[in-house]
Structure 1
Amino acid sequence: MTQVWANRGYAGELVDWARERLWLTLRIVSRPEGTKDFVVLPHRWKVERTIGWCMNARRNARDYERLPRHSEAHLNWALITMMTRRLTRKNPAASWAKKRSG
């Protein structure tokens, strides 16, 4: 992983810290100028969708673990399970992902 998208609240010193310590490019995703209502932000919906999928695993919906590494292990387990189910399904292309003709 070399690039991370973050909310505007993470702008500032964190960008420099991530570049120096983690060798990551931290890109700030902010709302377009002059918008007041809900706007789908680029790249951010991917993160929110993935978190939503992780929350389908019952144990990830609440944080019952004492140690952060246990919570991380459960998230990894949920993502691995989700990925293997997608890779092994018989019809991998979802109906919304099929290309339109014409």
Structure 2
Amino acid sequence: MKGSFAQYAQESSTEIILYYINGHSETFSLPISPQEFQAMLPQLLQKPWITFHLIDQTVCISTEKVMKIEIKPPINQMQGEGIFANSQRITALQRNATKFL
């Protein structure tokens, strides 16, 4: 996307990818800014369940089954202990990778 619409869309929505301990993942687009999501994130992670109301259904997710969350666009304002700025991913997460001889 190009132009002012792309900038508006990026600033007014947040995409999250939830990776579950069973190896599955789901992606959600949230109609809130990354800054709003950042403010909510600590409380969300402490709740046993989080709920997403979609157009055609409601999805409830057990937070204890989530092992990783990816957030787009990045939330660069997060700072503090356990947060590493200017990091680079060298390899993506791999599950059940086997090597045949």
**TM-score interval, normalised by the smaller of the two chains:** under 0.3
Higher relative contact order (CA 8 A, sep 6+): 2
Larger Rg belongs to: 1
Which structure dedicates a bigger proportion of its chain to strand?
2
Which structure dedicates a bigger proportion of its chain to helix?
1
Q: TM-score, normalised by structure 2?
A: 0.21
Q: TM-score, normalised by structure 1?
A: 0.21
